[in-house]
Chain A
Amino acid sequence: MVGCGMRKLGVQAVEDIARGAAVLASGGGGDPYLGMVVARQTVEEFGAIELLELDEVPDDARIAVSMGLGAPTVLVEKVPRGTEPEFALEALEDACGYRFDMLLPSEAGGWNSLHPMLPAARRGLPLLDGDGMGRAFPELQMVTWSVFGQSASPIGVADERGNKMLIETDDNKRAEDLCRGATVMMGGNISLACYGMTGAQAKANSVAGTYTLCEEVGALLRYARTNRVDAYDKIMECLGAVELFRGKVQDVERRTTGGFARGVAALEGFDAYRGSSFTMEFQNEFLMAKRDGAPVCTAPDLIAAFDVETLTPITGEALKYGCRVMIVGIPCAPQWRTPEGLAVVGPQAFGYGDVPYIPVEQR
């Protein structure tokens, strides 16, 4: 089971992953602080977590995705118990009749990158260096595994009290709808275990190297913060990112429809962008960026905002009037740039029927 290239994630690694995941979350994923503290405490208590590269995974390994679903604002108030991810995994295992060998995260996000570390550390299971998005998206079916025809079901669902459900659906969008309903009844934030798959499927259908990328970006942010130096250029280089704008937030218009925070943020430029305007539209995550009215970056490419002074990644919830931010566009995982990928998470999937997808680095 144990590959020769296996790494161990210690306290500093999980902290760096939390910081970096907040950048790759494209404005979603919630505040990474909570995920960081939970993961650090878990590693201190149960020891470092094994991390395997996708190509080290045996084809017949049994792998499950461990993820949280709910509102970031609830998460920061009703802090998890820490055992929810295991409860969800148990519910899935009871239904399957076997135990899983390894775990995968669903996405890069302040909480969801760290969620699978809890059951992994407690059970001594390895994590895989990959995920289903290479970023964060708002919905359960918006993963590369869906693109390749994998089913999310059966899905183990659990809350902090140990209440459990099993959800089985005929398609992954339906699974999203049912799980969203369960989230509300269970207090606004729950754990899921889903997308049960083989090692062969994980290798073929996941975005590779997400933890490593999060860790690299997080380490740069930590280095910048500790040494009070500007790491902006290095982070841009590490992500292959394109600067889209620098400016001040003039207005954030939000509304809640369909159980999501949707809205648009308007910015006014400074530095080289003086005289220009900019908008970012979001459904939890930032999905569409326009400079002077013309699209400059759209989903599935990532749009990330940083505080100008501190390089702190700013999530959608924290974006407010007066924020001084740098906005960058980051190329998405190649899986999303296929016709099949764009059908799930391209501009059309979010209602931008008239905007063709053009990779951010070519705009």
Chain B
Amino acid sequence: MKDWRIGIDVGGTNTDAVVLDNELNLVAAVKCPTTEDVMGGIREAMASALAQVEGARERIGYAMLGTTHCTNAIVERKRLDRVAVIRLGAPATAAIKPMVDWPADLREAISDRWYLVRGGHEFDGREIAPLDEAELERIAAEIDGACDSVAISSVFSPVDASHEKRAAEIVRARLGADFPVSISSEIGSVSLLERENATILNAALVTVAKTTSESFVSALAAEGIEHAEVYLCQNDGTLMSAAYAMRYPILTIACGPTNSIRGASFLTGLKDAVVVDVGGTTADLGALTHGFPRESLLAVEIGGVRTNFRMPDIISIGLGGGSIVRKHEDGRVTVGPDSVGYQVLTRALCFGGDVLTATDIAVASGAAEGVGDPSKVADLDPELVQAASAEMARMVEECVDKMKTSAGDIDVILVGGGSILIPGELKGVSKVHKPENFGVANAIGSAISQVSGQIERIFSLDEMGRAEALDKAKDLARQEAVKAGADPETIEIIDVEDVPLAYLPGNATRVRVKAVGSLKL
């Protein structure tokens, strides 16, 4: 039976790999340094993990990759495709040109040609103007051979995508049936500029996603794993097939924090908790609700570009293993926010350095057995150690309180290398969990991701009534989840939101629904 999984997480410092058996028991876990070419680290982590368990290779049927490839391409402005940008909506929308608010270097790396064409829809589905097909044919001829990828967006395409789809047909008729064309209604939700931005970024990442997926498949093949289902992680804690990822690479951006929260949930069995991921410089807190990360409500920038993606709601505070501890003249003791970062292994007192860090406090208080040399911090003033420990607890307590969604006490899950800093008891917290294998929570999160489908549409409730509209929206979300690989039997609706649109008659309402299911095994 090929029913085991291998999960990989590529982070800034480490690449982790885990193997889970058919009952999702953790049977292998490794940490390797992330390499500059990324793929080298993946190969090494995968090979060491598989070497830990005899016969694992033969059992692997599913391989999941959470990676920073796409994020890095945008941040470094490298390996990006040249994109021709088409917006349908003239004469509306002329006041803001495509990409006008982008960092200049990213714009130059991605696109030097954009077109505003007559077309698009009103909020109620009427056409702003009939689609100018002749103009699109002229544009297709002009961009033929001059770009690698095309991004098409249209006003109110979340309400009616017909113009975008027709425009894509016209482009493909000239540039080829397999030519990469990203259309905005498949990428983002209502809000033209943010959706257009995401669509352009998506179009620019097609080759990166293709290379990543193909290298992952070949790395698996090199380990003797063939015919495995290959998935990439999305930023909402769910998976997409490699084929889907090649069409929607933008969805892989920032999957790391999500995997960490989901992995923490798996390691403890908790569905509702605050997850505290303590690193060298910061502690990142995220809320786990119903087994998924709670999403942020503010607009998210990717590489300096505004998008309307939903990302996990994370609060970062300056508390990590390398945070510098100070006693001030007035007697106050502070921890961070500055940190010696990864140099903690040479600069902290307990490692023979000369900086008093949060790690030294943990070692001196006896909370960090096996870390550094306790004799080097034995002379620290016990009052200072106690005050600093209390301060670290206070910082986390205050932040946990902000992440809570109700007044009662909540469970906290500690993951990450710096979690030795946090005491086993916190105010406002019912229980502090420090799971085994907390170091590879991200890779576990990657291996256990579910698949989802999401839709966002505007409905006229006068025409169909609220219940009917919500049912229709749920069906569409379920269909999206099945398209993404979910077992129809396991699909659950996890989020329904409806927002009436101000000023509009007919009870126009925006409905957003997300459906999630287990992988169809």
Contact = CB atoms under 8 A, between A and B. Distances in A.
Contact of A80 (B95, B402, B404): B95
Contacts of B287: 322
Looking at B94, B95, B97, B101, which has the most chain A CB atoms within 10 Å of its CB?
Answer: B95
B504 A308 contact: no
Nearest to A263: B500
Contacts of A38: 95-96
A270 B401 contact: yes
Contacts of B120: 78
A216 interface: no
B91 A81 contact: yes
Given A78-B122, A78-B192, A312-B298, A184 B504 contact: yes
A80 B93 contact: yes
A274 B122 CA distance: 45
B309 interface: no
Contacts of B404: 248
B511 interface: no
B283 to A, nearest CB: 14
Interface in B377-417: 401-402, 404-407
B186 interface: no
A314 B509 CA distance: 20
Contacts of A307: 297-298
B499 interface: yes
A131 interface: no
Given A41-B97, A261-B501, A77 B190 contact: yes
Nearest to A319: B297
A270 B401 CA distance: 8
B405 A76 contact: no
A7 interface: no
Contacts of A118: 95
A16 interface: no
A284 B502 contact: yes
B505 A259 contact: yes
A363 interface: no
Contacts of A69: 503
Contacts of B158: 77
A188 B123 contact: yes
A33 B405 contact: no
B501 A256 contact: yes
Contacts of B431: none
Nearest to A70: B503
Looking at A74, A187, A268, which has the most chain B CB atoms within 10 Å of its CB?
Answer: A74
Interface residues of B, number: 50
Contact of A180 (B124, B192, B306, B503): B503
B502 A274 contact: no
Interface in B92-135: 92-97, 100-101, 120, 122-124, 126, 128
Contacts of B498: 254
Nearest to A308: B402
A248 B315 CA distance: 14
A310 B120 CA distance: 35
B299 interface: yes
B89 interface: yes
Contact of B297 (A71, A254, A323): A323
A37 interface: yes
Contacts of A322: 287, 294, 297, 313, 405
Nearest to B194: A76
Given A81-B91, A81-B92, A270-B401, A256 B507 contact: yes
Contacts of A180: 503
A33 B299 contact: yes
A274 B428 CA distance: 12
A324 interface: yes
Interface string A53-92: 0000000000000000111111011111111000000000
Interface in A259-274: 259-261, 268, 270, 274
Interface string A21-53: 000000000000110011001100000000000
A268 B501 CA distance: 26
Given A77-B192, A160-B91, A268-B406, A256 B500 contact: yes
A256 B509 contact: yes
Given A71-B501, A256-B509, A318 B297 contact: yes
A198 interface: no
B92 A78 contact: yes
A33 B191 CA distance: 11
B193 interface: yes
Given A74-B123, A274-B407, A184 B502 contact: no
Given A41-B95, A160-B92, A260 B401 contact: no
Interface in B301-329: 306, 313, 315
Given A77-B123, A79-B95, A183 B503 contact: yes
Contact of B407 (A34, A82, A268): A268
Contacts of A308: 402
Interface string A133-160: 0000000000000000000000000001
A23 to B, nearest CB: 16
Contacts of B101: 37
A187 B498 CA distance: 21
Interface in B171-192: 190-192
B301 to A, nearest CB: 11
A350 to B, nearest CB: 15
Interface of A: 33-34, 37-38, 41-42, 69-74, 76-83, 118, 160-162, 180, 183-184, 187-188, 248, 250, 254-256, 259-261, 268, 270, 274-275, 284, 307-310, 312, 314, 317-318, 320-324
The 8 A-B pairs with the shortest beta carbon distances in the complex, nearest first, are: A82-B95, A256-B500, A261-B502, A79-B93, A71-B503, A160-B92, A187-B122, A81-B94
24 contacts: A33-B306, A37-B101, A42-B95, A70-B503, A71-B503, A73-B190, A73-B502, A76-B192, A76-B193, A77-B158, A78-B123, A78-B156, A79-B92, A187-B92, A188-B124, A248-B402, A259-B502, A259-B503, A259-B505, A260-B502, A261-B502, A268-B406, A270-B401, A321-B405
Interface of B: 89, 91-97, 100-101, 120, 122-124, 126, 128, 155-156, 158, 190-193, 287, 294, 297-299, 306, 313, 315, 401-402, 404-407, 497-505, 507-510
